């Protein structure tokens, strides 16, 4: 499973709450969730040890408040690791110290261990020189230890996504079993009455966490399409994620429908041409947003609005490439604004 799936999962306060509820219930009970969660990823980027800057690791930093009535706040640092790493504990210690030096506050470091080795359980980093000794111990959430049945029975979308992470680990080497597991979770997502956005998120995480060989992926898409026909039309178009990326089907379909409607009033050919143009634009915009959500999490409303102002298909195709290579939402938005400024200066 791609570690960035964990980054996207922990970008949301409700999903983060579900993770701690099932993974570290005692800590979850101590946090005053009513006071909200403040994400501090930019601050983490500033203090991250340079020697780890280029590693493709997932780390999250956020601030929460406890229920003990004090104003004390705790920074919680999460790292997800899907393969055993002999230097993992040392890296946890390095980040812990870097955060403490920056904020001079209590720091709680938590490791998410998303590998399939039940015996790999790093818990501490220590060293001693003469009579000087350092011991750094940290808790971890071992995905293999999560109670899958409890996750499925919880009923909320975040817990269902966590269940898909568990199954992704368990079926890493058995694609046929993974296929069946993914179909089952897809059917649960469609049957449980979640809203459209929750279903979109669940299906996106299923796709990312439980990757399949091409042949099985094609079978899954056919089953998804068949299952989605029982849903409202709005849901059917929203879950055609792969169709959006490959053929921009969603935009074309809507464009053609609008074109036909306009064609009844102003001539079929002219209406279709306008509808197809608009459909192409919308399809490209949706493809970009879909890519951004998959790779970096939910784009802010400001970014979505700015993207909606771009109508040139050539520019949108260029932006889709930028989305794939940006590295984060901030870099993509900066490139988008640079493109708009350059277009304005040459107009």
- The rounded mean pLDDT for the chain is 79
Question: What pTM, to 2 d.p., does this model score?
Answer: 0.64
- How sure is the predictor about 51, in pLDDT bands with cuts at 50, 70 and 90? low
Report yes or no: 201 and 185 within 8 Å, Cβ to Cβ.
no
20 pLDDT band, cuts 50/70/90, is very high
- Do residues 213 and 241 lie in contact, with contact meaning Cβ atoms separated by under 8 Å? no
State which H helix or E strand residue 228 sits in.
helix 214-228
- How far, in Å, CA of 344 to CA of 347, rounded? 5
Alpha-carbon distance of 279 to 134, in angstroms, equals: 61
Angle at 41 between CA 37 and CA 44, to 5 degrees: 120
Q: Are 60 and 87 in contact (CB under 8 A)?
A: no
Q: What is the mean pLDDT of residues 104-132?
A: 90
Q: Is the pLDDT of residue 100 over 70?
A: yes
335/341 Cα distance (integer angstroms): 10
DSSP conformation letters of 297-308: -PPPHHHHHHHH
| pLDDT value for 267 | 52
- pLDDT digits 0-9 by tens, 273-331: 555 556 667 777 888 888 888 778 888 999 999 998 888 877 887 887 788 767 788 88
Task: Indicate the DSSP class of residue 33.
Answer: G
pLDDT in tens, 139-198: 999 999 999 889 999 989 999 999 999 999 888 888 889 898 988 898 888 888 888 788
Express each pLDDT in 29-39 by its tens digit: 999 999 888 88
Q: Which of 164, 189, 208, 188 is nearest to 297 (CA)?
A: 208
Q: ∠ at Cα 199 (193, 203), nearest 5°?
A: 135
Q: What is the pLDDT of residue 137?
A: 96
Cα–Cα distances (Å) from 286 to 11, 237, 322, in that order, read 21, 11, 14
């Amino acid at each position: 499973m791609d570690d960035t799936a964990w980054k996207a999962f922990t970008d949301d306060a409700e999903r983060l709450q579900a993770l701690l509820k099932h993974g570290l219930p005692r800590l979850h009970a101590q946090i005053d969730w009513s006071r909200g969660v403040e994400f501090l990823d930019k601050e983490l980027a500033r203090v991250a040890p340079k020697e780890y800057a280029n590693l493709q690791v997932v780390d999250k930093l956020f601030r929460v408040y406890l229920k003990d009535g004090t104003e004390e706040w705790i920074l919680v640092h999460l790292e997800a690791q899907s393969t055993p790493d002999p230097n993992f504990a040392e890296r946890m210690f390095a980040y812990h110290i870097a955060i403490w030096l920056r904020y001079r506050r209590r720091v709680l470091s938590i490791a998410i261990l998303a590998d399939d080795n039940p015996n790999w359980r790093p818990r501490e980093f220590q060293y001693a020189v003469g009579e000087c000794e350092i011991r750094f111990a940290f808790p971890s959430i071992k995905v293999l230890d999560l109670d899958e049945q409890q996750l499925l029975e919880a009923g909320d979308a975040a817990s269902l996504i966590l269940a898909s992470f568990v199954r992704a680990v368990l079926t890493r080497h058995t694609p046929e079993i993974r296929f069946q597991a993914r179909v089952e979770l897809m059917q649960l997502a469609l049957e449980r009455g979640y809203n459209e956005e929750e279903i979109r998120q669940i299906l996106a995480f299923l796709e990312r966490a439980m990757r399949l060989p091409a042949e099985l992926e094609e079978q899954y898409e056919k089953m998804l399409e068949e299952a989605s026909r029982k849903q409202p039309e709005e849901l059917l178009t929203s879950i055609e994620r792969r169709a959006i990326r490959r053929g921009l089907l969603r935009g074309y379909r809507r464009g053609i429908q609008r074109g036909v409607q306009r064609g009844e009033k102003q001539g079929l050919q002219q209406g279709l041409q306008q509808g197809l143009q608009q459909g192409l634009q919308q399809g490209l915009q949706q493809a970009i947003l879909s890519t951004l959500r998959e790779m970096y999490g939910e784009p802010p409303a400001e970014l979505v609005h700015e993207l909606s102002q771009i109508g040139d298909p050539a520019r949108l195709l260029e932006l889709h490439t930028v989305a794939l290579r940006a590295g984060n939402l901030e870099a993509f938005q900066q490139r988008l604004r640079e493109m708009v400024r350059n277009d304005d200066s040459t107009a």
